[in-house]
Structure 1
Amino acid sequence: MTRSQEQLEFIRLLSLDSETNFTKTKHFSFAMKKLAVLLNSPFITFTVVFNDIQNKKSHYNSYCLQTQDNQPSEQRVAVNVNQSDLPNTIRLLSNQLQEVQQSKSQVNVSFLNNTDFSDSQNDNCFVLPFSVANELIGVISYQSNTSNTVIKTSSPLYQFIHYVFDAAHTNRQKITQINTFQTVLNLMPQRVFWKNRESVYLGSNKAFSNDAHLNSPSEIIGVTDFDIFPEQAELYRSDDANTMVSREHLIASEEPQTHANGKTIWLRTSKRPIINEFNEFNEVIGIVGTYDDISELKNMQVELSKARDELEEKVEERTQELSQTNKKLAVAFESLKSTQDQLVESEKMAALGNLVAGVAHEINTPLGIAVTGASNLEHSALLIKKAVESGKIKRTTFVNQCNSLIGSSDIILRNLERASELVRNFQMIAVDQSNDEKRTINFFKYLNDIISTLSPRVSEKNIKIFLSGDEDFPLLTSPGTIAQIVTILIDNALTHAFKEIINGQIKISFKVQNEMLMLTVQDNGCGIEVGEIEKVFEPFYTTQRQKGSGLGLSILYNLVTQSLNGKVACFSTVDESTQFVIALPLDE
């Protein structure tokens, strides 16, 4: 066989297997034996170099063929070293990137990590580097006394070997990139997968292969949905076809996924077509998809929907109950309001009845005196008439009887005038309470008139009322409301304050302070317990149910705050006094 034929045979053998680990294939050793013949060398090494820049390491996969006594021996060695610890030969080649002459021992140390050897005088080696972009990618070393021209850089043999090293280097870079991408994808909790145009899986991340119940992502290659998710295979492949045909992204599609163990989860899936942009037709060559497991979210949605439906039912039931309750409350409120209005009217009528009783009692006295005077007047007139008829009347008798007539007439007149005054006061107060229009009154005189109408009740309990204030103070107000307020306060004191007290007193005073009329009604009665003071203005609150309705002070509170826009407060000390202070704004 000629040298040219041997070179072609070497090229043929080396090209039969050109994948990444081609140094381990069955044809590689035959190719190396041919190379040893071509170089006429009993010792050759063939080393693939790859620099891991990220981890700062250099990897050497070396093959060594050595022939002694016509007996070839092979050795394969993988060496990993830190780039800071590179052997001198490697460091020299990386810097010069040209053939260098070394001893066999240096070659053994650098490429075979072997120190068990003995050099002879003929153990001279030539080391030939192969590089891409000033980066060392391969090395061939051979034992010879002279450099062999067969493998010079300009020779076809060198060019082919350079191509083989370059292909191995490129493949290693791609594999490293792919492994890096795969590692990154495996760290993602989101499921990632990609398929070809026939919807056959070409790859995935670890999370997806776990869902498919595969040991690793590499096992997904060549698998279809019918193999791993048969129940949803048609649905998934239909989505794939629509995505590739329409070239539109499928976004957040919610789909079920049944696993081999029978468990079904829910997915939120997105898919997009893979378009070959390096092809002038921009063909769709597959799809890439991602999905998240939203089973918990789905379960929560179901639970929320169930809870919402139950809540709506409960709300509807509660609404009906509240509607019925509101209707009952409305009826009860109207009934209570009607009852309250009746009680208020009853309280007013009771107060008016007390006033009428007092006035009637007060009128009885002057009317009784007037009747007595009229009787005396009649008696004197009859005596004069008899004396005149008998013709025996004396001057002194006539004068005495006339004086008696005059005295009786005077008594009658004065007492009738007193009765008339009482009637006028009563009429004024009664009219004020029924027709409560504002008018200007002499406040002192008006209070005094109210006290006068209540004097019979006050007198029978031996209570004294004292009034103090500006006797000429004019006040624009609602007189009837004032009369009702004062009547309620005096009546309240007469009913509750003087249970066992003799010679009780009620002091009524008023003054102007900070543009407010301050009216104070104070008694020296039994007082009110501390815990009870805050309740006195509450409706129906009373300490003597048999003597009142409990509405008096509640009515007073409403009259002061609502009718007169004022304020009222109660202060009391047990066994000493009770004081009501009313503050009324002065109308201009």
Structure 2
Amino acid sequence: MDHKHFFSWGVDASTSLIGSYDPLLVLLSYIVAAIAGFCALNIINFIRTKVGSNHYLLKVCGGAILGLGVWSMHFMGMLAFSLPIPVFYDLTITLISILPAIFAAIVVLHNISKPDISYTNIIFTALLLALGIASMHFIGMSAMSMQAYMSHDVVFVSLSVLTSWFLAVTTLLIKSRRIGIFNLSGRGIDILAGLFFGFSVATMHYLAMAATLFFPDNTIHTSGIDNRVIGYGIIISVVLLMALLMAVLFYKQKIKQLLELASTHHKRVIETIDNMQDGFVLSDENGIVILVNTKFIKTFAHSDPKFVGVGENIASMYQRIATLYLKFSNDAERMQVLELINHSRDHSISLKVQTKDGGWWLLRQNKTFAKSLIQTWTDITEQTSQEQELIAAKNTAFESIENLKSAQDELVEAKKMASLASVVTGVAHELNTPLGVGITALSSIKDIIENLQKTINSGKLTKSKLDNNLDSIYKFESLAMSNFERVANLIQQFRYISVDQQMEDKLKFQLDKSFLKMMPIWQQVAKKQNISINTDIPTNITLFSYENAIFQVLTSFVTNSLEHAFAGQSDGEIHISAQVDKQMLRLTYSDNGCGVNTKIVSTIFDPFVTTNRNAGAMGLGLHISYNLVHQLLKGKIRLGSDKNSQSKIKQTLFIVEIPLDLSAEKSDSIAAKISS
């Protein structure tokens, strides 16, 4: 295929072929160039966000898009131009013609994406773009095959390049916001720049076409693809450009929304940090302070005119704060704290420091994934004072409780002695009131402490609430101590008659055989009041436990029945039965006496609870039984009804449940196990 092109300074146009343009295609070619410019310039916005590491790929893609738009505009302009002779195009040269435009576009995007591009760089980049468009144009023109040769006027060609250069400079100045006459938003600037880019390409093309004359030459052999194929290619490129335009607009809007959302979140985070009750300091990986909040400034910089904060080295800032505000016992402690704050960047720290005004602050430091440091300063002055007061109150309360336990232990031991009734008769009334008051006071102190601890753990403790609780603790403590002093004086007057102060070791025994040994003793005592004692004990129940403790509990029940349930009666019945359920022994004790006074049902196992104090009863028997069952025998005891019992006696009913085997227990003495 022959191609004849000439560049000349003056040509006689009288014999040239006359061509014509389709106005609609001309307009469409300009729109294609403008869309290509708009898409490419918007890709610059994506590149400048610096999100991810694919900005080089974006530059290549944007250059390809821009080059494709320039190429499409050129050949659409060629389709708009008609000659009176058939025109064909060399496919290879047609495809090659897109390369200069793509190369120039990539360089342009690379340069213009820089945030600080200079005027010189803008002018050079625009020139490169104009030369790339011109190269694409004349390579594309050389792809034409027809029975005519072309002659290009150098003056008009130069004018087309210069005009394109000027419009390209204008485009880049608009994009880089160097022209201040346009008060437009970001999208408006991109649209205006795209329009000027379209003018730059279209002006170069149509001025260059005006500089070209076609002279008929029947000797030239023609071949290649026709306008229809070129039209298909242009259609495809336009479809791609339109699809890209929609994608660019979509992602631009998406990025705008994300940036607005990020900005909103950023403002919220800053406002939240600034309104924190704790001081806040954020520094980067190089130790430069990025952010300090209002609380920190008011605390450590309110009287320091030299305070810098943001942008300052964190070590220098804390050196000044330690000198002006913090209190240390000596210089060594001061250096140690500063060393810990300034050089513990790879791990979290929690440090308690005191200020010169007597306040206490908790410094906590954590490292972020970005290797920045977050430090918070929490005012714990009130909390520290409250903790110290609470510790003192606890120590006082626990000391009172220990004193009470000691007094109760001695009273419980006294009950186990054979002559307890005659010894305590004279002092029972005197012990009852002060000890009851003391127990109530200590129980109240315990409740207050537990509630106070829960409030501390929940973080809702207030000073007024703490003051009220401490005032109550002091009042109850004073009340308990005065009563315990009275009890202590009385206890000193006791004379112990010890029968057996040590409980026997655990042993294996048959329950029915043990009952056979105890029954004559109980029956002998009950015979005086004509009270019968009946038992229902299976013969196959074997226990490994404390035999004497079990029968001490049952003996306490029998004694209570004789003294209280059958007081003043000449006949009655007691029934004792046993059952085994899942390795637990269930003992059921009942009588048909007068029953339990409803006033003491809920407190029947408490110490010193009795309805017969005038007759000398002290009210320790069931309390000791309760402790034996719960502490030594590891079981449960309760007063109530028993639906599974075969006895018809329902006036008074005690149910005891204990394990059959206590081999896993280590304690061997009741003295070590009974606890008040």
Q: TM-score, normalised by structure 1?
A: 0.38
Q: Which has the higher contact order (CA 8 A, sep 6+)?
A: 2
Mark the structure with the bigger radius of gyration. Answer: 1
Name the structure where strand makes up a greater proportion of residues: 1
Q: TM-score, normalised by structure 2?
A: 0.34
Name the structure where helix makes up a greater proportion of residues: 2
